[in-house]
Amino acid sequence: MKGWKGILVFVLGLILLNVAAQYVYTRIDFTKEKRYTLNPKSKEILQGLKKPVTITVFLDGDLPAPFKRLRNATRDLLADYRAYSAADIQVVFADPIAGLSLAEQDTAIQNLYQVGIEATTLNIKNDNGFAQKTIFPMAMITADGRQLPVKLLQNLDAGGSYEQNINNSIQNLEYVFTSGIQKVLAGKSLRIGFTEGNGELADPYLSDAIKSLSDSYEVGRVNLDQIDRNGLDKLKLLVIAKPQKEFTEAQKYKLNYFVMNGGRMIWSIDQVGAELDSLKGATQQLAFNRKLNLDDMLFVYGARVNYNLIADANCVEIPVATGGGQGQIQLAPWVYYPLLLPDTSSNLVKNIDALKGEFASTVDTIGVKGIHKQAILHSSAFNQVFSTPKMLSLQMVAEQPDPRSYASRPQVMGVLLEGNFSSVFLNRSVPPGIPEAYPLPASGKATKMVVIGDGDIFKNQVSAKDGSVFPLGFDRYTQKNYGNKALLLNLADYLCNDDNLIALRNKEVKIRLLDRARLRTEKFQWQLINVGLPLLLLISFAIFQHYYRRRKYAR
């Protein structure tokens, strides 16, 4: 009877545990980086959902192994979304061209493209060579009569590895879906403007920056002479990228109005004029101070971009002619192209790689009451700061930096300012060129801005041969990727969204691949262990069983 009671108690315990599991959801994540744990911000947004959401994932069917990994990671993540959501989330996995003829596939691909679902063509190796396969590494989020396409596969930067690209995509999945759900329910896209008209970077050099931001925002160019008050009110973020002409008082008045009314700003400023292309065509070039007429604005807001150039031993290599008979080119370190290092104490730039800088200047903060200041970028500790004007020459690449002269402390190269900024035009008359009323309070709405002492930080390289654009942060000479694009995306998200989702971008999933070198050297050893050890154990067990039975029954 006791045995039956124990079995009954065990069965009842299992039933109660299953009933409780219907109402309480929990899981234990044993991974070191907590890859299967949702960020508290995602949980907060999901638990606040009031309308049903449908997510259609087009990554399905017969896929190559890396894309199966991406699909499985997507499935696991969305299962958590369904578990934590206060509203119903329907998840559908589909292959949109499965079972269709070639003509029908072309029509389906075109129809999907019109709603923002783009195909990716892969070259897959098989016994006959290579075969092409079309897949759709995208999803469509639908809610409240609106839909938003989102990319699951991050763009492969030139020089990047295939496995790293898939891994980066898996790391970014939570941000993609959480921000996507948030945007489709909000029903509108925030606007970002890159200023023009004052010698800022031309469209080809901002092409990848604008394209990358366009996945989540409405992005375009803004001429401060032409935009009116209504146009400024529609903008969320203004980016001033490498202006070279002096700003008029009317332009500054509009910028100040934008900041006072809660607009967010990124100042990417070159206080010193110097270009590497100019050095290649001349023996020397004078790095001169630019007159941008922005110093008073930045001073009132709490920052100053200094009139100097930083030379850093931790720098980017540039191609230089070696003087050989056939015009040989080799790479040499150029100390005026410093590597800007993210401040690891700031979540805004956490986990971002070093950034490529060009003729950068240091940034100081000013003691303005009520403004919180935080350094986000700095140089290495092996730097030297030169006052300008300064004569530059490519002959400097042959000079070995003196370790004693470069021993210094890290210099601040970029700062984040947050708070209620004071008006630059307080108690001043309205400048000429302002035809309509722009009400300016003495203290503006709470806002934030970033000041960087390098105008080229968001500039992508452009091929001189065919005008093709390289990804932002990729250096075509060294074939290296830097963190410039990641910085831009992080800044845009932080400055545009009051619901800070930066932590989702900082999620890290480590690739734990086999050591290929060790695999080659120890291949036979592990084959022998994997094949021979099970056989040895089986034979040993059979011998033991034989003698055990013989001894047991021989008595």
Q: What is the mean pLDDT of residues 383-393?
A: 89
CB atoms closer than 10 angstroms to residue 390: 17
pLDDT of residue 364: 95
Sorted by where each starts, the structural domains of the chain and their CATH numbers stand as 28-180 (3.40.30), 189-505 (no CATH)
Residue 27 predicted with pLDDT over 70: no
pLDDT for residue 305: 96
For residues 308 and 384, the answer to whether their CB atoms sit within 8 Å is no
Between CA 262 and CA 173, with CA 185 as vertex, the angle to 5 degrees is: 95
316-363 pLDDT per residue, tens: 988 887 665 556 778 888 899 999 999 888 878 877 889 999 999 999
Which token pair is 52?
């049903």
User: Which amino acid would we find at residue 398?
Assistant: A
Q: Is the pLDDT of residue 514 over 90?
A: no
pLDDT at 551: 79
Q: Is the pLDDT of residue 313 over 80?
A: yes
- Is pLDDT of 479 > 80? yes
Query: Is the C-alpha dihedral spanning 31, 64, 162, 492 positive or negative?
Result: negative
- Has this prediction a pTM greater than 0.85? no
pLDDT at 161: 56
Residue 13 near residue 6, CB atoms below 8 Å? no
Which residue, chain included where needed, has tokens 């065919």? Answer: 466
Q: For 270-293, give the secondary structure using H, E and C.
A: CCEECCHHHHHCCCCEEEEECCCC
**Nearest 5 degrees, angle CA 56-CA 493-CA 158?**
75
Average pLDDT value for residue range 177-192 = 84
Name the token pair of 72.
């499985």
pLDDT band of residue 12 (cuts 50, 70, 90) is confident
> What is the arithmetic mean of pLDDT over 193-201?
95
What's the rounded Cα separation, in Å, for the pair 225 and 77?
47
Question: Residue 155: its pLDDT value, please?
Answer: 59
Mean pLDDT of the chain: 85
List the beta bridge partners of residue 341.
378
Q: What is the DSSP string of 151-186?
A: ESSPP--TT--HHHHHHHHHHTHHHHHHHHHHHHHH
130 vs 177, which has greater pLDDT?
177
Q: Kindly report the CA angle at 453 between 450 and 457, in degrees rounded to 5?
A: 80
pLDDT value for 66: 83
What is the rounded distance in angstroms from the CA atom of residue 337 to the CA atom of residue 311?
8
Mean pLDDT of 145-158: 74
Q: Half-sphere exposure of residue 537, counting CA atoms within 13 Å on the CB side? A: 6
Looking at residue 416, its pLDDT comes to: 95
d(CA 175, CA 187): 18
**What is the C-alpha radius of gyration for the chain, rounded to an integer number of angstroms?**
30
pLDDT surpasses 80 at 289: yes
**Per-residue confidence (pLDDT) for residue 306, from 0 to 100:** 95
Percent of the chain with pLDDT over 70: 88
Among the listed residues 412, 409, 497, 502, the one whose alpha carbon sits nearest the alpha carbon of residue 452 = 412
Q: Which residues share a beta bridge with 385?
A: 310
Residue 447 clears pLDDT 60, i.e. is over it: yes
pLDDT reported for residue 159: 45
* In the predicted structure, residue 156 carries a pLDDT above the cut 60: no
Query: What is the percentage of the chain residues whose pLDDT exceeds 90?
Result: 37
CA 341 to centroid of chain Cα atoms: 15
Kindly report whether the peptide bond that precedes residue 342 is cis, defined as omega within 30 degrees of 0. no
Task: Report the alpha-carbon angle 546-549-550, nearest 5.
Answer: 80
With a cut of 80, say whether residue 407 has pLDDT above it. yes
Which of the four pLDDT bands, split at 50, 70 and 90, describes residue 157?
Answer: very low
Amino acid type, 384: Q
Quick one: residue 145, left, alpha or beta (phi over 0 = left, psi -120 to 50 = alpha)?
A: left
For residue 462, what is the DSSP state?
B
Confidence of residue 520 (pLDDT cuts 50, 70, 90): confident
Does residue 410 have a pLDDT over 60?
yes
Q: Which residue has better confidence, 182 or 552?
A: 182
510 beta partners: none
Q: Average the pLDDT over 501-513 and give the result.
A: 65
| pLDDT, position 426 | 84
What pLDDT is stored for residue 34 in this prediction? 66
- What pLDDT sits at residue 158? 43
More confident site: 133 or 335: 335
Q: CB–CB of 444/421 below 8 Å?
A: yes
Give residue-wise pLDDT tens across range 237-252. Answer: 999 999 999 999 999 9
